[in-house]
Amino acid sequence: MSKVIGESDNHIVTPDEYSLVREIIYRGSVIALTGAGISKESGIPTFRETGGIWDKYDISIYGNMVGLSSLIIIKPRKIKDFITDVYGGIISAKPNSAHISLTKLEDEGILSCIITQNIDNLHQEAGNKRVYELHGNLFVMRCMKCGKRQKKSKEELKSMLDNLKSARRHEILNLILPRCECGGRRRPDVVMFGESLPQSEFENAHIEVKKCKTLLLIGTSGVIYPAASLPYTAKESGVTIIEISPEPTSLSSLADYVITGMAGDVLPILFRN
């Protein structure tokens, strides 16, 4: 093996060695765990990186429903800006070559499923059918009273943003938290700070990770728990871990193989027959 990080036994894979990793992947039973990095390549601003959403907005206020609800009443202009920044980047984004490559791998029967920390719906838009969303989906509205979910299209969300620009104070609440048929209000079905992950999604993800042969880590820093615990579960289960990242992460020392590079550049080459 060519290079060691820390005290791990991982292998830094050069482009000339892609065939080695390709052979492992094409044995099948592969799962991809994806994070903000893969979406960043589609132009979606990250939340945690320098210059990201949480650099611009106070996470203690904008990261939970209590804070957001109070802003609708106290500082409506601030909530307009926040909603526009979060939704705007996601609505305009399209799946990149990394998303497309994962869809191809699923179509070939090699990829069992995707477990994602992203809320942007890009894996589904690219064509992936089995996607476990640990942090929810911004295109889904969930009633806080009856729990009923409703999927929104990009066109519907664009219309919401357009109406929000000229909305008056009393109109903002109904645009951001619209009424459900039951009388309750719908909110974006995403996990906010202080909230638990969807139990069934995480449990299913945990089961999938334990039974797969290979786990691809794509664009995830491995610092957000409990999602970050999944690679450790995989390691304990004897799963081969392959990380694809432009720079080292907290999970790099856990990986058996590390490929340095952007997922949109690496995956189309890696999955080429």
Q: How far is it, in rounded angstroms, from Cα 95 to Cα 49?
A: 21
Task: Tell me which residue has tokens 């009923």.
Answer: 148
User: 131: closest CA among 108, 109, 114?
Assistant: 114
Order of strands, sheet of 257-260, starting from the edge strand that comes earlier in the sequence: 11-12, 257-260, 240-245, 214-218, 30-34, 111-116, 131-133
- 26 to 51, 93, 108, 231, 244: CA distances (angstroms): 38, 30, 10, 20, 16
170 carries an active-site annotation: no
Q: Which of 99, 123, 135, 170 is catalytic?
A: 135
The CB density around residue 267, as the number of other CB atoms within 10 Å, is: 26
Half-sphere exposure of 98 (CA within 13 A, CB side): 25
For residue 243, with 0-12 CB atoms within 10 Å meaning exposed, 13-18 middle and 19 or more buried, which class applies? buried
Neighbours of 114 (CB within 10 A): 29
Looking at the annotation, which residues are catalytic? Answer: 135
